[in-house]
Amino acid sequence: MHSNTEAARALYARTRQEKFALGAFNIDNLETLLAIARAAAAKKSPVLVEVSKDEAKLIGLHNLRCIVDNYKTEFDIEMYINLDHSPSVEDAKAGIDAGFEFIHIDVSQANHDDTEAEIIAATKEVVEYAKKTGAMVESEPHYFGGGSNVFKEAMDYEVVKKTFTKPKEAFKFIETTGIDTFAVAVGNLHGLYPVPKQLDLDLLAAIREEVPGYLSLHGGSGTPDDQFRGAVERGVSKININSEMRRAFRTTLETQLKANPDQFAVIKLMGPVLDAIQAVVEHKMDVFGSAGKTQG
């Protein structure tokens, strides 16, 4: 087992013991990563950065590994990498080979109609392969909806409820696949919507009571702070945030461009953009309880 994955496993164990959650923040570019690193340093918070397939293709798995390691040293922070919603076994294996500490295998992203048997088979293959580095594997038995964007239409909560996690089915999936982390569906949904998300915290408590290992919460953007705190109290160890950061990036950049129509030096436009993203990340670290949890 690699030293990075040993440290990641020790940190994950602390989330259960000390009742805090790690923010997992998507990055599209260097500016976003820098804002996350600055937030981690300011809040003395451990943090995960993550890339989905499109982001990984743009940045490069090994490039990201090197940049994150450089920032870890420069900012003296505890930062790990999660491969988010990896749509194939091959993609997940590439993340493991690149030294990512956390791997989310989600073949239903590529084919929403994949059967549970197909999902289980793929997940088991990744769990076995991850033993070569000790990377932690996350999965779920069905497609997780929405999209990492800002939507104008409200979500159909009754449709969302149809995919809610059933505690006993979650237990069976974890036992069958051997995963470290189960991605729950309790009202969370990818994206930002006109109305706040509503988490079924009673269901989350029942899942936590039933299953071993770690729980993650995808689609965190747009969830009220009190519900986040309730999720952390009920044993969630990782919460994914993307759309709120993208909104902060775009809206702040648009304001900068309008205010500085004759400025073409990109670096002179980006300061407030980084500050806006950093503010989102720092606030989540406070709400998730990870602020002040960096050791060493």
Residue 179 pLDDT class (50, 70, 90 cuts) = very high
Residue-averaged pLDDT of the chain: 90
Judge whether residue 22 has pLDDT over 50: yes
Higher-pLDDT residue of 265, 149:
265
50-108 confidence digits (pLDDT tens): 999 999 999 999 999 999 999 999 999 999 999 999 999 999 999 999 999 999 999 87
CB 144 within 8 A of CB 200: no
3-state secondary structure of 125: helix
The stretch 5-10 carries a mean pLDDT of: 96
Q: What are phi and psi of 24, to 5 degrees?
A: -115, 110
**Bridge partners for 137 per DSSP:** 103
Q: Which entry of 28, 76, 84, 156 is annotated as an active-site residue?
A: 84
Q: 187-213: per-residue pLDDT in tens?
A: 866 554 445 668 889 999 999 999 999
Fold exhibited by the domain 3-247+276-288: TIM Barrel (3.20.20)
Q: Output the CA angle 52-54-57, nearest 5 degrees.
A: 105
Using alpha carbons, select from 285, 277, 227, 229 the residue that is nearest to residue 252. 277
In whole angstroms, give the CA distance from residue 126 to residue 120.
10
Q: Encoding tokens for residue 292?
A: 């002040």
Euclidean distance between CA atoms 134 and 99, whole angstroms: 10
Query: Which one, of 253, 287, 248, 278, lies nearest residue 75 by Cα?
Result: 278
274-289 in b/e burial notation, b at 16+ Cβ within 10 A? bebbbebbbbbbebbb
pLDDT in the model for residue 151: 44
Tally of CA atoms within 13 A in the half-sphere of 205 that contains its CB: 7
- Find the helix or strand (DSSP H, E) in which 239 lies: strand 236-241
pLDDT digits (tens, 9 = 90+) for 266-283: 999 999 999 999 999 999
In angstroms, the CA 275 to CA 269 distance is: 11
Please say if the pLDDT value at position 238 is more than 90: yes
Q: For residue 79, which phi and psi values (nearest 5 degrees)? A: -135, 135
Determine whether 42 is exposed, middle or buried from the number of CB atoms within 10 Å of its CB (0-12, 13-18, 19+).
middle
The neighbouring-strand residues paired with 217 are: 184, 239
Query: Strand pairing of 136-139 and 236-241?
Result: unpaired
Beta bridge partners of residue 240, listed in sequence order: 24
> Is 113 considered catalytic here?
no
**Single-letter amino acid code for the residue at 71:** Y
